[in-house]
Amino acid sequence: MKKSKLISLSGPFGYLKLAGWIFLILFAGKFVVDDALPYFGFDQDVFGRYWNFKWWLIGHVSGGILAIVIGPFQFWKAFRSKYLKLHRWLGRIYLSAILIGTISSTYLAWTSGLAIHWSWAFALQGLAFAWICTAAMAYRAILKRRIQQHREWMIRSYVVTFAFVSFRWLDDLPFVESLGSFIEHGPTTIWVSWVLPLFITEIILQWNKK
């Protein structure tokens, strides 16, 4: 009898991988519900100093939410194999969401971000650059039918996408807040939120390569 499994749980590694995905989904879900969705109520108190840039912020948040939500489906092997056409369309939406998010975040970096401090603006721009570049490399790889490279760049892209979740979590930690004012710890925190995870990801990706 032929069996169809949505998720392969062969051995301890399979269960560990599943647990990791569940944790990331719940972690990201909390961020979306608590920190991202409130902006769509268009309450001036929620936007605060971003009120004059609300549409740019909405573009940035919308792109981020779409990328975060779509990501797990793109890595789900059984879903990808069964719904290949949908996988491709979701990939296009994912790339479009990142493009919109990057354009919006670049504008915010050199307007509202620069009003805070140039180091904060530069940190935001660095994240935006990494976000669009990893996604663009994934797209280039699939156009050239380099499937393995495409998957690896998609992993890097999602790691950078997840930086928005990581940053909010790190920035709220009492230890980080104790390091000084936002100007003193904010730029460093946002660099750490994607550079360190991307470095660890690269080690994992390259570890078993010949």
pLDDT in tens, 152-194: 999 999 999 999 899 989 988 999 988 889 999 999 999 999 9
The percent of residues above 70 in pLDDT, for the chain, comes to 92
Q: How confident is the model at residue 6 (pLDDT cuts 50, 70, 90)?
A: very low
Residues in the chain: 210
The percent of residues above 90 in pLDDT, for the chain, comes to 64
Q: How far is CA 196 from CA 35, 55, 92, 162, in A?
A: 23, 31, 27, 12
Report pTM: 0.86
pLDDT at residue 77, as a whole number: 82
pLDDT at residue 10, as a whole number: 52
CA distance 92 to 86: 10
Q: How confident is the model at residue 13 (pLDDT cuts 50, 70, 90)?
A: low
pLDDT at residue 20, as a whole number: 75
Domain boundaries, the chain: 20-207
| pLDDT higher than 80, residue 75 | yes
